[in-house]
Structure 1
């Protein structure tokens, strides 16, 4: 039984680390949307 509790504790610790890192990414990284335009040649479209 102690090994099962130890396994559950390790899984909880790893889940907490993953949750904390995702929360840190959300709060610390600020993304600014930018507009992207790219020319496409008509030969690449292959319209039939």
Structure 2
């Protein structure tokens, strides 16, 4: 029974670290914006 509790605690700590990483990336990393130009040949417009 003790090993089950240890496994559950380990999984909860791991899930907390992953959730914390996702939260940090979502709130502290700013994406850079840039324009994208895609050239379409005239024959494909018909």
Both proteins in one fold, TM over 0.5:
yes
Structure 1's consecutive aligned runs of 4 or more residues displaced over 3 angstroms after TM superposition are: 40-43
Aligned residues: 45
TM-score, normalised to structure 2, is: 0.75
TM-score (norm 1): 0.73
CA drift at 1:27: 1.1
- RMSD between aligned residues: 1.8
Match of 2:8 in 1: 8
